[in-house]
Amino acid sequence: MPLDPGKPTILTFYIPFTYVVSQSGLPLEVQAPTARNELFSLSYKEIERRIRAQMTAMFGAYGFDAKRDIAGIITNRWGHAYVVPQRGSISALTASRRPGTRCGRGTAGCVSDTPS
Give yes or no: residues 9 and 49 share one domain. yes
Residue 21 pLDDT exceeds 80: no
Each residue of 47-63: pLDDT tens digit?
899 899 999 999 999 99
pTM: 0.57
Q: What is the C-alpha separation between 46 and 73, in angstroms, rounded? A: 12
Q: Which of 56, 66, 69 is nearest to 5 (CA)?
A: 69
Range(s) of the domain holding residue 105:
89-116
Residues 51 and 73 in one domain: yes
Number of separate domains in the chain: 2
Instruction: Tally the C-alpha atoms within 13 A of residue 16's C-alpha that lie toward its C-beta.
Output: 10
What confidence category does residue 33 fall into, taking pLDDT thresholds of 50, 70 and 90? Answer: confident
Phi, psi of 22 (to 5 degrees): -65, -25
In whole angstroms, give the CA distance from residue 74 to residue 100: 44
pLDDT given at position 112: 47
Q: What is the pLDDT, as a whole number, of residue 44?
A: 92
